[in-house]
Amino acid sequence: MKWTKFPRIELGKGMEGRIIAVPLSPSEGEVKLKVGTTPINSKFFENNEARLIEHKNKLLVVVGVNGRGDARMFGANAWKAVEKFMGPVKFHIFPDFLSESEVLEGVLLASYNFSKHKSKQSERPWIVFHGSPSTVEEVVEKIRGVYIARDIGNEPGNHVYPESLAEIVRDSFGETKVEVEVFNEARLKKEGFGGLLSVGKGSINKPRLIIMKYMGGNQGDAPIMLVGKGITFDTGGINLKPTGHIKDMKFDVCGAATVIGTMWAVQALKMPINVVGLVPAAENMPSADATRPSDIVKMYNGKTVEVTNTDAEGRMILADALAYGIEKFKPIATLDLATLTGACVVALGDKVAGIMGNNPKIVKELITAGAEEQEKLWELPLFKHYLENMKSDYADLVNSEKKRGAGASNAGKFLEQFVSKNWVHIDIAGPASSESEWEWNPVGGTGFGVRTVLKWLSMHI
């Protein structure tokens, strides 16, 4: 699979170039003295507005910032202003008093353009970045992981389905230090992945389990395990989704996309840590062979689940992968990411992910990592009484809560029945994709979580 390319980047020196992007702060920075007399109100800084200013023989792209926390917004809005008003020109970007790496992250995140299926490709601006070579190298590999996650999410279901996703992963990691193993349908049956098989049985595109192993840390050290929900397209199954947002159900693969993008960045950055990534991949389709509501399924760990709603399929495939991964790899910590519930979007909106788990320390670490990367996480509870809502009269569990309310937490409580200690779940149903541009995120897949997970992993090196 050909990943979306970055715009052209080169390193700059001195004050060369005619078009120069610079931050403007109320209190600091080199540019304040030069354009400080220009009439600017407080909203210019609060909203990170961009303004084009002729100064001597230069054209300044000035972006308002309220402080150092606006570095990514400066980079993003500088790129947007240049592309919108000037087109495919060479422009120089000076971080000045802002973090070099965060500025460049903002530029690259905002410049993402998924256009591979269009017959005509447009030219893009050309970046001359005034920063250190090491910053460029590190940021490029980090943000490439985000691009990969966005690309996988944006691909339609006729391009990305379980078998093709497995091949994409094999091909992408073929010459890296990541070892890839794929369980096909026969292997899944042999191993007893009842949950994953039940979700995928209605589709001609049969399920897969994709395992990625990166051992960059000490030999023998237990790994951290990442698990991503990989529903490549979700019709809802027999409980068919209504017309409307069903076309967006290609984004149900975004948890898997985040794990794959993270694994790419981990190996590219040569992080000295052991990490295992698991992607249970299935396509949830209605057919004569599909799982019916009321069917009872035996899961990998031996528990039985009554399927009361075939559109609560994500937790079924995650449960099997979590149980298998914990048994097989005995990780020191387990993190799963999934576009799991609409209830999480109702609770938190479309720009915030819900987080819950059985280890408060890890939950706090991830919230802190998200804050540093400007990806918002909000903790949701896993109270004991939620389990009562997930018990079946005919099996051990139901896959969809019996009573409405606390849907995101009920789903988390279901998953908790398949894990051991040190487990955290992040529901990215809201911010994984977007219907409009916001901050540095494009329409479509956002790659949410890649940067947060990388930051969290760095805390364990």
Close Cβ partners of 247 (under 8 Å, ≥ 6 residues apart): none
Strands 208-215 and 178-183: antiparallel
pLDDT > 60? residue 34: no
Query: What is the per-residue pLDDT for 110?
Result: 98
CA distance 143 to 450: 9
Would you give the DSSP letter of residue 440? T
* Nearest CA-CA partner of 160 in 87, 293, 93, 260: 260
pLDDT > 60? residue 420: yes
pLDDT > 90? residue 37: no
Query: What is the per-residue pLDDT for 40?
Result: 76
Strands 178-183 and 19-24: unpaired
Mean pLDDT of 41-49: 89
Query: What is the per-residue pLDDT for 237?
Result: 97
pLDDT tens sequence across 58-104: 899 999 999 999 999 999 999 999 999 999 999 999 999 999 999 99
CA distance 432 to 27: 35
CA distance 199 to 284: 6
Q: CA–CA distance from 267 to each of 144, 149, 178, 179 (Å)?
A: 12, 15, 7, 11
CA distance 228 to 261: 11
Query: Domains in the chain, start-ordered, CATH in brackets?
Result: 9-131 (3.40.220.10), 142-458 (3.40.630.10)
Q: Is the dihedral of CA 407, 408, 409, 411 positive or negative?
A: positive
pLDDT tens sequence across 206-241: 999 999 999 999 999 999 999 999 999 999 999 999
Number of H helices, E strands in the chain: 14, 20
Four-point Cα dihedral 164, 170, 173, 177, nearest 10 = 150
Token pair of 289, please? 């062979």
pLDDT > 70? residue 360: yes
Q: Are 339 and 404 in contact (CB under 8 A)?
A: no
Query: What is the per-residue pLDDT for 30?
Result: 64
pLDDT > 80? residue 57: yes
pLDDT band at 39 (very low <50, low <70, confident <90, very high): low
116 is catalytic: no
pLDDT tens sequence across 233-288: 999 999 999 887 899 999 999 999 999 999 999 999 999 999 999 999 999 999 99
pLDDT > 70? residue 146: yes
Q: How many CB atoms lie within 10 A of CB 58?
A: 16
Q: Are 198 and 297 in contact (CB under 8 A)?
A: yes
* Nearest CA-CA partner of 75 in 26, 108, 47: 108
Query: What is the per-residue pLDDT for 32?
Result: 58
CA distance 231 to 321: 13
Query: What is the per-residue pLDDT for 64?
Result: 93
241 is catalytic: yes
Mean pLDDT of 312-333: 98
pLDDT > 50? residue 33: no
Query: Which residue of the set 58, 90, 241, 351 is catalytic?
Result: 241
Residue 130, burial from CB neighbour count under 10 angstroms (0-12, 13-18, 19+): buried
pLDDT tens sequence across 366-399: 999 999 999 999 999 999 999 999 999 999 999 9
Of 49-63, 214-228, 304-318, the least confident: 49-63
CA distance 155 to 162: 13
Query: Which residue of the set 250, 315, 413, 455 is catalytic?
Result: 315
- Mean pLDDT score of the chain: 95
